[in-house]
Structure 1
């Protein structure tokens, strides 16, 4: 991969971005769905939902892990001219690109409660948990290697941070930009205290 002036987004932030947008609507849909008797009854719906929650969390966590590991292992150092995208900007761009399916996914999870109470919401929440766990896994890699993983923004937008268009990752030091290893929000730097004037 070239070392020219390219815009880069954090891999872990891109993975973590959908987690909350799946988890909280899923919890809400599951809670609301549990109030509906449904065709199968609440008990069967909740048991089925629990199984779907576990399966979704595992599958989402496990999918493409080898691809992520391969790209991380082959990553090269980012050049000084690379433009590092802020965490907030990455999240905003992701929301703008995917908002069209977030509401339908929530409505589908809520509507499925008329058949299997709470199951659709728990499936959605499980997918969110799996993404969060994958971001933590990437964070462990970043801490172990003392480096942050970045991907070209245009490639990530087209097919995700491990899609076909992604040819490789770039790395920087762990102090780069405003997100900690794993994509969590970094602590804001404290303002320097003014030194007391000497008498």
Structure 2
């Protein structure tokens, strides 16, 4: 839903959307790599470990760098959130993203496990690398938000099921860094902060 009461819009934190996939990808990747190393595979475990490490680094770097220009461009043109805009809770954003992507996550885990019969641990390294790349991207977004002293939000109907720079996005909104229940970068705001 994109509409909120009294003419406002429902907004979701950009960094929280990005962060939503980090933990599931990391843990599924670690599990797939660990289980995959139980299988000798066609290449052997040693080659699998090296391949998994290489894929981990490449995937983390690629996820970190992809579409950064679009995030920066939208941040530079962001408008201030309105008085009646509704700020979606962090927990709701995480739940919605993970629900919308559960089959992709399950499919990625199964594919990573299946790849162990060829190259043990490589698929798990790739999944874990994607998770780390998302964490690194949220750290970068957090620096961007702290630099501008403004949190980045996008309309929930534009973000769809978790695409903060997708084709439907027409702009970002900003609030002060004290708004909502997540700090710059999308981590949960702790009591007293």
What's the counterpart of residue 104 of structure 1? 107
Q: Secondary structure at the match of 1:23?
A: helix
Normalised to the residue count of structure 2, the TM-score between the two structures is 0.94
Using a 3 Å threshold, how does the CA distance of structure 1 residues 97 and 159 change in structure 2: closer, same or farther? closer
Residue 111 (structure 1) shift: 1.2
Q: Secondary structure at the match of 2:160?
A: helix
Cα-to-partner distance string for 1:79-136 (whole Å, 9 max, x where unaligned): 1110000000111111111112111111111111010000000000001111110011
What's the counterpart of residue 55 of structure 1? 58
Instruction: Specify which of 120, 123, 126 is matched with residue 123 of structure 1.
Output: 126
Residue 189 (structure 1) shift: 4.3
Aligned length: 188
Cα-to-partner distance string for 1:126-160 (whole Å, 9 max, x where unaligned): 01111110011000011111110000011111560
Instruction: Specify which of 72, 89, 93 is matched with residue 90 of structure 1.
Output: 93
What's the counterpart of residue 10 of structure 2? 7
1:172 and 2:184 aligned? no
- Which 4+ runs in 1 deviate beyond 3 A? none
What's the counterpart of residue 3 of structure 2? none
CA distance in 1, matches of 2:37, 2:121: 5
Cα-to-partner distance string for 1:54-75 (whole Å, 9 max, x where unaligned): 1101111100000000000100
CA distance in 2, matches of 1:180, 1:34: 38
What is the root-mean-square deviation in Å for CA atoms of aligned residues? 1.4
Long gaps (5+) in structure 1: 191-199
Structure 1 residues 1-199: aligned runs within 5 Å: 4-157=7-160, 160-189=163-192
Normalised to the residue count of structure 1, the TM-score between the two structures is 0.91
